[in-house]
Structure 1
Amino acid sequence: MDTLLGVIVGYRCSALLSSTLNPDLALASGISPRRKQLVLSIALAIVVAFLFAGLNAANALSWRASNQSTSDQQVS
């Protein structure tokens, strides 16, 4: 996932930067600022989705571990 995001950002780094900082300058350079901002928004959404998925998985593992230790204590 990091590799994909790195490729997206690295491939068009200057275009992404110029469209983010100054859309008029990007437009004068022949860069579509709306498209680059859309790419950044989608990349951010992907990162957030993966982070939420990771947090959800960690929370589920933590919940299972706490339930397992609770059930072990009740059996003893």
Structure 2
Amino acid sequence: MAKAVIIGIPGETGLWLADLGAGTVKPLNPTGDLATVNDLRKTGGTFVNNVDLSVAVSSVQVALSGHVDG
């Protein structure tokens, strides 16, 4: 089972590394294949691997309330 997730959202050029075990999120400087995938993302591409739910919300409060922005 995955213990970390790399996150990229539209409008953000950078990537983030969420360490699920430690409960932390930190900026990530991509290298290698990840840098290539990030370059494709910047031009509108999408890459999903081993994730079965991903939702971007406008705030933590929205997520904690159980709502999903439309």
TM superposition score normalised by structure 1: 0.22
Higher strand share: 2
Higher helix share: 1
Report the structure number with the largest CA radius of gyration. Answer: 1
TM superposition score normalised by structure 2: 0.22
